[in-house]
Every structure is written in C-alpha cells, then in structure tokens.
Chains A and B, each alone.
Chain A
Amino acid sequence: MNKSDFKLIGIIVIVFLIIMLGFRLFEKKGEKVARVYYQNEMVLEIDLSDKSYREYNVNGYNGNVLIISENGKVRVKEEISPLHLCSKQGWIDSSYETIVCLPNKIIIKIETSQDLDAIVR
C-alpha cells in the first residue's frame, strides 16, 4: 500500500461520517407512518405513533408476509424467501430506513404523514 491508498481510505471515512451526520440532521420530524408497497403500489399504512403491539398480514409474491409493529418501530416477522434477508434485517424506525423484500416484491418505507405520495406511480 502506498500513500495515495491511505489518502483514499481517509477520504472514504470522512465521506462516511459526513453522510451519517447528514442522515441524523435531516431526519424528518412529524408523525411517522410505515407504508408497505407491493409491486410499487401501497397496500398498507401503519401508524407508528400507536405504540401497542400489532400484527399485519400482507400478500407478497411468494405468499403471506407477516409484518409487526411496536413502540414506533416496524419489522418483517415471517416471509417466504430463499435467504430471509428482510426478516433478518430486523426493526426499522427512522425516516431514511427501508426494508426491501425482493423475492416478495414488498418494500416497507418509513415516511412522515405530511409528505403525500409522489413515489407511487
């Protein structure tokens, strides 16, 4: 490794820190909702200000997807897919986080209730 390699690593670390700081600063405030999309169409909206434990069943491409929410967080509990990546990902709770479940064509996004859906086509 030479000097410019270390410079490159330094730059990456700095960029990483700046992006993480940016995420913290620009996190949207307001009522949070988790929106579940199946093939880019919204199929379920979960109000995250309700802290109680709730279960939701959504139809994914491979069958049933069990989504649970508690304490303002949301996660995929059970789904049918080869690697179970989205249930392994666990809880998400901030507005820049997403759970993407490719085999089931399901995306869960956390959004604030103000921003109306510009993404759904």
Chain B
Amino acid sequence: MELKKFTRLTMLLSLSVVLNIFESFIPLFNGFIPGLKLGLANSIVLMVLYLFSFKDAIYISILRVFMVGILRIGLFSVTFCFSLGGAILSVISMALAKKYTKLSIIGVSIVGSIMHSIGQILVAIIILKTYNIIYYLPWLLIFSIPTGIFIGVISKELVKYFEKRLKLL
C-alpha cells in the first residue's frame, strides 16, 4: 500500500474511533431501546467505501471495533462481540448495496444502519441464548431511517469535500 493512502486511512481510522467514543456521550432516547445510537463512525466507513475501496472500508470498520474495544469497552467483552457482528455485516451489506442497487449514498447508509442492528441482534441471540431480543428489532429498524438519512447526508458532504482535496494533495 502506498504511503500516502496508508497515512490517509490511518487518520480516517482514528477519526472514526473518536467519533465512536464521542457519540456514546450523546444520549439518544435514553434507555428506551438499548443499542440505539447515531452511528457517526459509519459516515467515515461510508466515505472510505466511496472514495477508496471495499477492502479499505472493511479494514477501517473492523480495526475501529478493536480499537474502541481496547480503549473503552474491553476486548472480547459481550458488547465488543455485538459491535463486531454489527460492523462486519453492515460494511458488507453497504458494499453490496452500492454495487448492485441504484440506491444513493443516503440509501446505502440506511442499509448499513439496518444491517448493523440486525448483526448485533444476531450476535446477541447467539451469546445470550434468548430469542426475545428480536422484540427490539422493529424499533431499531424504524429508527434506522432517520439516523441513516442523517449519516447519509453527512457522508455525502464528506465525499463531495474530500473528492477534490484528496486529488490536490
């Protein structure tokens, strides 16, 4: 990997770690649905997916989970496994949505947000051995529309902004 690209990706990775930690300080419908959050870090993953490649996006998103794991939630803790499951499913489905559908970046962001919830719930069912958690799924689904649109709009602006700058550098 050339040095320039490597440096840029590393900076984006640290940015997504910071965003991930930062958003855990924003209470969103506090406690009404466990696991509901904005997903600010997803805007970085989306941007990498559009400006770099799928491979880079999956690196960023998995490394982010590991770094947040080390810094905050503890490596291989239960919450860590939830995040990892959600992140992997979300980045793969976003790449597929980008390649095979006509969705704009906002639609792709909504897909990522939904798949993140589904991934987390699947992991939760496996770890906690209870199916009742599926009850949260419809709520996470419906809230993924506003959060997905929000993140999608941010990513759209980010892509527009960096498309020009990255060539200049």
Count class of interface residues, chain A = 20 to 34
Whether B130 lies near A16 (C-beta < 8 A) is: no
Residue B114, interface by CB 8 Å: yes
Residue A1, interface by CB 8 Å: yes
Whether B101 lies near A12 (C-beta < 8 A) is: no
A82–B71 Cα distance when bound, in Å, is 16
Q: Which of B30, B104, B141 contacts A15 (CB 8 A)?
A: B141
Whether A85 lies near B135 (C-beta < 8 A) is: no
Query: Chain A's interface: helix, strand, loop or mixed, by majority?
Result: helix
Residue A42, interface by CB 8 Å: no
Residue A44, interface by CB 8 Å: no
1/0 per position for B138-152, CB-CB distance to A under 8 A? 100110110001000
Residue B102, interface by CB 8 Å: yes
A84–B137 Cα distance when bound, in Å, is 21
Query: Chain B's interface: helix, strand, loop or mixed, by majority?
Result: helix
Whether B138 lies near A20 (C-beta < 8 A) is: yes
In the assembled complex, which residues on chain B have CB atoms less than 8 Å from the CB atom of A19? 137-138, 141
Count class of interface residues, chain B = 20 to 34
Q: Which of B2-10, B41-49, B50-58, B105-113 contacts A (4 or more CB under 8 A)?
A: B105-113
In the assembled complex, which residues on chain A have CB atoms less than 8 Å from the CB atom of B129? 40, 119, 121
Residue of B nearest to A95 (CB): B132
Residue of B nearest to A8 (CB): B107
In the assembled complex, which residues on chain A have CB atoms less than 8 Å from the CB atom of B79? 102
Chain B interface residues (CB < 8 Å from chain A): 30-32, 34, 78-79, 101-104, 106-107, 110-111, 114, 124, 128-130, 132-135, 137-138, 141-142, 144-145, 149
| 27 pairs from A and B in contact (CB 8 Å cutoff) | A2-B102, A4-B103, A5-B103, A5-B106, A5-B110, A8-B103, A8-B110, A12-B141, A12-B142, A13-B142, A13-B145, A15-B138, A19-B137, A84-B31, A85-B34, A88-B32, A96-B134, A96-B135, A98-B130, A98-B135, A100-B34, A100-B124, A100-B128, A107-B130, A109-B132, A119-B129, A119-B130
